[in-house]
Chains A and B, each alone.
Chain A
Amino acid sequence: MHADPKGVLTGVHFMDGDHACCEGALAAGARFAAGYPITPSTEVVERFAARIPTIGGIFIQMEDELAASIAIQGAVWGGAKAFTVTSGPGFSLMMEHIGLAAMTETPCVFVNVQRGGPSTGLPTLPGQADMMQARWGSHGDYGIIALCPNSPQECFDLTITAFNLSEEFRVPVMMMLDECVGHMTEKVVIPEAESIEVTPRRYTKRSPEEYRPFEPQEDLVPEMVKAGDGYRFHITGLTHDERGYPDMSVGTQDRLVRRLTEKVKPAGDGRALYETGDLDDAEVAVVSYGITSRVAQRALQLARARGIRAGKFRLITAWPFPERQIRELAGLVKAFVVPELNLGQMVYEVERSAAGKAKVIPVTHAGGTVHNPDVILDAIMEAVR
């Protein structure tokens, strides 16, 4: 279905990534946001708080991130499309409810504008060190989807994608910005509402008597209902059977947890989003994401100017990790260079997917600013040596 024009600010704008992310949420149909202030993410909800009363929806500033991250789930079960926004310390507090959303298959979006960590770290400066936390931060086995924009335009576009994927797969989807992308101001084109595709919620057509809340459909995703429609359904964070009732048996645990993990895999395998450039003849592939991909672009130009056959592979879908693409590429290039604003996170995924077929060189950075392109260039040169 098309976007509701009420939420779509059609036009050409000059705005930062945080604001563009908010506009993406509005265009995707989000009419509920709960948040707790934290730099450098607050502008997303500040804009939402300013915009939503004239569109028709709710913003509530909660007492902490635990509250914000579960208030959105209450709103979803009440029928809303909902999201919350935070940065590292708040993201840590939200982990419990990312697990709840995964377990109860609650479609919702978590935006994390990453800053330097650990702990309070660098509140106003960039980092990309929450990438593994996004995937593994809550306890237990589950799957999620995470997207990494590298421009304000992508903050807009991918936030819509994030909502759509969350509805399709009934999973929490993470928008993994970083401080630079969040605070970078560029041209953002917001199209007409008719040209924005919005995925509707997978509401069941079954009667309350026939409906089983966690009965998987062909794609392993169950159909949804909302409170107040007479289904008298039960939702629990406990291991549950297809009726949604707690069941502590090993068999039920196995079926449920495997399904929660399996169902998101297609979002990586065939449908992972990524951008490539100059890979046809490349000996070296630079794998990067977010702001680092823009620094890497400069390093790639410098490398090509020196006659080094280097190309880019930009991760847009970080999770599920595009294993197949990296595996195939590993057969073609000599080496991967992986710069990121952390001491090595996604590089382990590249290494695992390359499975020894190509050398993998991390270019680490503790955060606080971006890489110097020369450092990435050095790694590229080392890779072809």
Chain B
Amino acid sequence: MIETTLDIPADARNPVEPFLRMERMPHIWCAGCGIGTTVNCFTRALLKSKANLDKVAVVSGIGCTGRVAGYARLDSFHTTHGRAIPFATGLKLANPELQVVVYSGDGDLFAIGGNHFIHAARRNMDLKVICVNNMIYAMTGGQTAPTTPLEALTSTAPYGVSEPAFNLVSLAEAAGACYVARWTTYHVMQLSRSMEEALGKKGFCFIEVLSPCPTLYQRRNRMGDGLDAMKYYKEASKIRHGAPTSECSLSKSGEIVVGKFVDRERPDYCELLRAQMCQSLGERYAEPEVVCSR
């Protein structure tokens, strides 16, 4: 054991611990993986947002980031591959007082779950979607994702990826998200602030976080380890708030445009539903009371 020479107050406690199922530590994420870093930012955003944690639910799909739900000491749901968003949609509509956060990876949300993503954004469902983008399918061993940049090597593209990647922030904006931001795991303060902002905003909010996958993406592409990825993020990132998302594509080693790109007002699904029903049904409309009695 290494002792620190510092005088640590007896009541000092890691601020993330109350948010995590510490009995499940250590987590499964690799050395140098950035998912844990995003969780730090999220817990601090929750702390600052002063949300009632009993009313916050985390929904994840499958994959490395999909494990976030299992570590969050909140009502948390680890669902099926790609389907976190429709699960979250049902949860939110049944129990609108919940703050529902979808926390999942790029492959889960944009390949198998891509259809659900665009439809939830179109409906402006009141969900906060955090996508940890490590540019690869990591849990299954490093296969090509819809976010893997051209020319990158993966286990299913051993001679380099030839198909163009999604620009997630542009997709989110086009589909109707009312809040769209991108950060990297280097930008911990900005990311946490964005998460806090999204938690305070009604409607479909999307935050993309670039995060290292040293085991499968960096190593196969000879891009070093997690720390090297972090240094790349630091050097290659340009903060351009409000940048047109169509100009924010990512590449294997080029510039990374980060910032808050979209922050607009749109009535959310429940408001629109209510307005339409009131218009058509008048006093016959009954407010949804979906929760069954005990």
Contact = CB atoms under 8 A, between A and B. Distances in A.
Interface of A: 1, 4, 6, 29, 31-32, 34, 53-58, 60, 62-64, 66-68, 70-82, 96-97, 100, 200-201, 203, 226-238, 245-246
Contacts of B281: 53-54
A76 B91 CA distance: 7
B98 A71 contact: no
A231 to B, nearest CB: 7
A209 B46 CA distance: 23
Nearest to B119: A63
B290 A77 contact: no
A-B pairs with lowest CB-CB distance, top 5:
A74-B90, A78-B94, A79-B291, A78-B95, A71-B90
A57 B288 contact: yes
A46 to B, nearest CB: 16
B89 A235 contact: no
A77 B91 contact: yes
B90 A82 contact: yes
Given A66-B86, A70-B90, A80 B290 contact: yes
B93 interface: yes
Contact of A78 (B79, B90, B284): B90
B99 to A, nearest CB: 10
Contact of B292 (A54, A63, A79): A79
Interface in B76-128: 76-80, 82-83, 86-95, 97-98, 115-116, 119
Contact of B115 (A31, A32, A63, A201): A63
Contact of B93 (A60, A64, A233, A246): A60
Contact of A31 (B69, B74, B288): B288
Contacts of A54: 281, 284-286
B286 A97 contact: no
Contacts of A71: 86-87, 89-90, 93
A100 B79 contact: yes
B222 interface: no
B77 A235 contact: yes
Nearest to B62: A237
Nearest to A62: B86
A70 B80 contact: yes
A74 B59 contact: yes
Contacts of B287: 56
A68 B90 CA distance: 9
A30 to B, nearest CB: 9
Contacts of B86: 34, 62-63, 66-68, 70-71, 74
B220 interface: no
- Chain A CB within 10 A, most for which of B54, B285, B292: B292
A70 B86 CA distance: 6
Given A32-B90, A230-B54, A80 B291 contact: yes
Contacts, number: 177
Given A53-B286, A71-B87, A228-B75, A80 B292 contact: yes
Interface in B39-59: 53-55, 57, 59
Nearest to A201: B292
Contacts of A67: 83, 86, 89, 115-116, 119
24 contacts: A54-B284, A56-B289, A57-B288, A57-B290, A58-B288, A66-B83, A67-B89, A70-B87, A70-B90, A74-B59, A74-B86, A78-B92, A78-B95, A78-B98, A80-B95, A96-B83, A200-B292, A201-B292, A226-B95, A227-B98, A232-B54, A234-B70, A236-B77, A246-B78
A307 B93 CA distance: 60
Nearest to A1: B293
A55 B286 contact: yes
- Chain A CB within 10 A, most for which of B54, B86, B94, B116: B94
B55 A228 contact: yes
Interface residues of B, number: 47
A228 B119 contact: no
A237 B93 contact: no
A60 to B, nearest CB: 7
A97 B83 contact: yes
B115 A64 contact: yes
A64 B116 CA distance: 9
A237 B294 contact: no
Contact of B80 (A29, A97, A228, A230): A97
A53 B289 CA distance: 10
Nearest to A53: B277
B76 A234 contact: yes
- Chain B CB within 10 A, most for which of A6, A53, A82: A53
A228 B77 contact: no
B231 to A, nearest CB: 34
B219 to A, nearest CB: 25
Contacts of A201: 292, 294
- Chain B CB within 10 A, most for which of A57, A60, A78: A78
B24 A245 contact: yes
B42 to A, nearest CB: 16
Contacts of B98: 78, 227-228
Contacts of B80: 70, 96-97, 100, 237
Contacts of B193: none
Contact of B94 (A74, A234, A235): A74
- Chain A CB within 10 A, most for which of B24, B80, B284: B80
Given A60-B89, A74-B88, A232 B74 contact: yes
B21 interface: yes
B201 interface: no
Given A63-B116, A63-B119, A234-B70, A82 B94 contact: yes
Nearest to A30: B292
Contacts of B24: 245
B73 interface: yes
